[in-house]
């Protein structure tokens, strides 16, 4: 007894299916879709009706392989909850999407080995470019991307040794300006609250902090780097540690607005007057910094503008044009917390 076995397909409507329904050859369908001006109006309408009825979608992967080009860009971020991630992604989309490029977003969860696995898979997709929000990578990733002919863009913060293109903020100068502002306002016993983040970012913050404190002959030792995430609860939990270790504290710099607002909430619980007893400043100019009480002084990081500038630079590079990249300096937003 013979058994008829049906070959399992991809489930996609093919060019041949459209051609059969329209009663024409596959080359005619391909020509109508690629260069419609070369096909008669009557034939083109017939093919378009078949495409609409079958729901045909062009196989972009096959087209990319055939033409040795691609309109897919991979973007790997440490976390989708990373500060400014969605805004930078929106800025990139604003520039790249109208040009026909699609961004595939992936999350490495702050793990180098996961980033390596993701890029190993994504690089097999004949990418037009790769965008990385982190600049800490494994040796394999740096080698793969360094040897690649496609553009590689690292965004978010400036780095001393980028793989290829690099556009972002100067964290060193931003932290220096924020700390210097407090010093100029007369604060003498300033602390720095950091939390779980990539080591290279922490080092940049520390560099800017030391630059301001040491140039003004002030002690830079009041620093806590919490192992937990830079959240509201971390800020609230760490404030008592500062007050216990340094009761003379009169100002606190936090590396995120969430940390700063957590410290503000703890001040209110302990009836510590802000800024009368203690000044608190943050970093990022998030929505919460504008509505908390008192309003939080912070550094406004233009995340969407970073994405837009990065998109323009990448698009120029993809079009074999000159691209420009420079450090973006956040601006001070002074409110009532200091």
pLDDT range class, residue 48, cuts 50, 70, 90: confident
What average pLDDT does this structure show over 160-182? 93
> Which top CATH class is 70-169+303-328?
alpha beta
What average pLDDT does this structure show over 8-30? 79
Answer yes or no: are the C-beta atoms of 107 and 79 closer than 8 Å. yes
**What confidence tens digit (pLDDT) does each residue in 185-216 have?**
999 999 999 998 778 889 999 999 999 999 99
Lowest mean per-residue pLDDT among 128-132, 137-141, 325-329: 325-329
Structure tokens at 40: 């008669």
Burial of 255 (0-12, 13-18, 19+ CB in 10 A): buried
What average pLDDT does this structure show over 36-53? 86
The reported pLDDT for the residue numbered 67 is 45
Q: Which carries the bigger pLDDT value, residue 37 or residue 97?
A: 97
**What confidence tens digit (pLDDT) does each residue in 67-94 have?**
445 789 999 998 887 778 889 999 999 9
CATH 3.40.50.2300 domain residues, the chain: 70-169+303-328, 171-300
CATH 1.10.260.40 domain residues, the chain: 15-58
The reported pLDDT for the residue numbered 11 is 55
- What CATH fold (topology level) applies to the domain 171-300? Rossmann fold (3.40.50)
The reported pLDDT for the residue numbered 312 is 94
The reported pLDDT for the residue numbered 81 is 75
Question: What percentage of the chain carries pLDDT values higher than 70?
Answer: 93
Question: Looking at residue 6, what DSSP letter applies?
Answer: P
Give the CATH architecture of domain 15-58. Answer: Orthogonal Bundle (1.10)
* pLDDT at 111 > cutoff 90: no
Of these ranges, 26-30, 51-55, 167-171, 221-225, the one predicted with the greatest mean pLDDT is: 221-225
pLDDT range class, residue 95, cuts 50, 70, 90: very high
**H helix intervals, the chain:** 15-22, 26-34, 41-54, 60-67, 85-96, 112-122, 139-147, 171-184, 199-215, 232-245, 257-269, 287-291, 303-318
Average pLDDT, the chain: 88
**What confidence tens digit (pLDDT) does each residue in 285-305 have?**
988 999 999 999 999 999 999
Instruction: Please state the pTM of the whole predicted model.
Output: 0.73
Give the sign of the dihedral formed by CA 247, CA 212, CA 174, CA 163.
negative
Answer yes or no: are the C-beta atoms of 154 and 310 closer than 8 Å. no
pLDDT range class, residue 62, cuts 50, 70, 90: low
């Amino acid at each position: 007894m013979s058994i008829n076995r049906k070959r399992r397909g991809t489930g996609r409507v093919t060019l041949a299916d459209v051609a059969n329904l329209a009663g024409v050859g596959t080359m005619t369908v391909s020509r109508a879709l690629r260069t419609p001006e070369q096909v008669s109006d009557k034939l083109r309408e017939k093919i378009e009706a078949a495409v609409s009825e079958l729901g045909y979608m062009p196989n972009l992967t096959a087209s990319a392989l055939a033409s040795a080009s691609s309109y897919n860009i991979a973007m790997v971020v440490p976390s989708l909850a990373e500060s400014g991630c969605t805004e930078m992604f929106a800025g990139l989309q604003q520039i790249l999407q109208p040009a026909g490029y699609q961004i595939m977003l992936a999350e490495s969860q702050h793990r180098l080995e996961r980033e390596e696995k993701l890029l190993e898979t994504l690089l097999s997709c004949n990418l037009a470019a790769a965008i990385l929000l982190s600049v800490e990578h494994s040796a394999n990733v740096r080698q793969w991307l360094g040897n690649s002919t496609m553009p590689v863009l690292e965004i978010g913060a400036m780095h001393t040794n980028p793989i290829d293109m690099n556009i972002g903020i100067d964290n060193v100068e931003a932290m220096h300006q924020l700390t210097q502002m407090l010093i100029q306002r007369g604060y003498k016993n300033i602390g720095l609250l950091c939390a779980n983040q990539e080591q290279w970012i922490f080092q940049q913050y520390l560099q800017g902090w030391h630059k301001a404190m040491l140039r003004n002959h002030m002690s830079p030792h009041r620093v806590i780097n919490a192992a937990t995430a830079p959240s509201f609860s971390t800020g609230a939990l760490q404030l008592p540690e500062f007050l216990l270790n340094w009761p003379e504290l009169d100002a606190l710099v936090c590396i995120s607005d969430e940390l700063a607002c957590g410290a503000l909430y703890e001040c209110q619980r302990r009836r510590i007057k802000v800024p009368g007893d203690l000044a608190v400043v943050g970093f990022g100019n998030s929505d919460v910094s504008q509505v908390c009480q008192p309003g939080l002084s912070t550094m406004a990081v233009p995340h969407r503008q970073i994405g837009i500038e990065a998109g323009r630079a990448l698009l120029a590079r993809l079009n074999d044009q000159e691209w420009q990249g420079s450090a973006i300096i956040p601006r001070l937003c002074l409110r009532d917390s200091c």
